[in-house]
A and B are shown apart, each in its own frame.
Chain A
Amino acid sequence: KNQVEQSPQSLIILEGKNCTLQCNYTVSPFSNLRWYKQDTGRGPVSLTIMTFSENTKSNGRYTATLDADTKQSSLHITASQLSDSASYICVVTLRNDYKLSFGAGTTVTVRA
């Protein structure tokens, strides 16, 4: 069973609208959580990284939140653009372990 679960699996939004992606994890002990954006057929690109003590991190129109108590994170995309169409992957790193646990990703499609 995957230790990092993302929802929804996919979503379609209109250009200019906002959306929120969810990530729940069970891995422990937790070190940090990262959100990556992956365009089709390309390598993932880092958007945000949060440690245990951080509960929000922004990168332009992307804002990530983290609740380490409930082991939940979200990625909010504001005023979506066509270029936001991609897969968004939640990645958790264990403390004292550099192996990353990946979610399956949420595929976002932005339509004009």
Chain B
Amino acid sequence: DAGVTQSPTHLIKTRGQQVTLRCSPKSGHDTVSWYQQALGQGPQFIFQYYEEEERQRGNFPDRFSGHQFPNYSSELNVNALLLGDSALYLCASSLLTASTDTQYFGPGTRLTVL
């Protein structure tokens, strides 16, 4: 039973570029949430996807967009990268109907913007 997987592990981009991060949820999970974690900080909620639609969104600009596919996997896209976008990006999966279920996190993608 595979856990949450993310790719790539590390990524280096320059300002103004665009990036796509990928996430495959834990088997049996239908909901994917994305978080941004700056160094020394707790994760900040970006958005959550269920049934291929964005259910909730945190306080992030429209440069951050996402997508969920029929197999429940998800992508996070960030356009016009800024230096401040450098962070660990975490994907977490859960089962929507189980409100007390633990969200399982992937290992994260470390994005560095130069």
Contacts and interface: CB of A to CB of B under 8 A. Distances in A.
Given A98-B56, A104-B42, A105-B42, A46 B104 contact: yes
A89 B42 CA distance: 7
B48 interface: yes
B56 to A, nearest CB: 5
What is the interface residue range for chain A against chain B? 20 to 34
B42 A102 contact: yes
Interface residues of B, number: 30
Q: What's the dominant secondary structure at chain A's contact region?
A: strand
Contact of B108 (A4, A41, A89, A99): A41
Interface stretch (B14-22, B74-82, B88-96): B88-96
Contacts of A1: none
Interface string A82-112: 0000000100010001111011110000000
Interface in B37-66: 40-45, 48, 55-56, 58
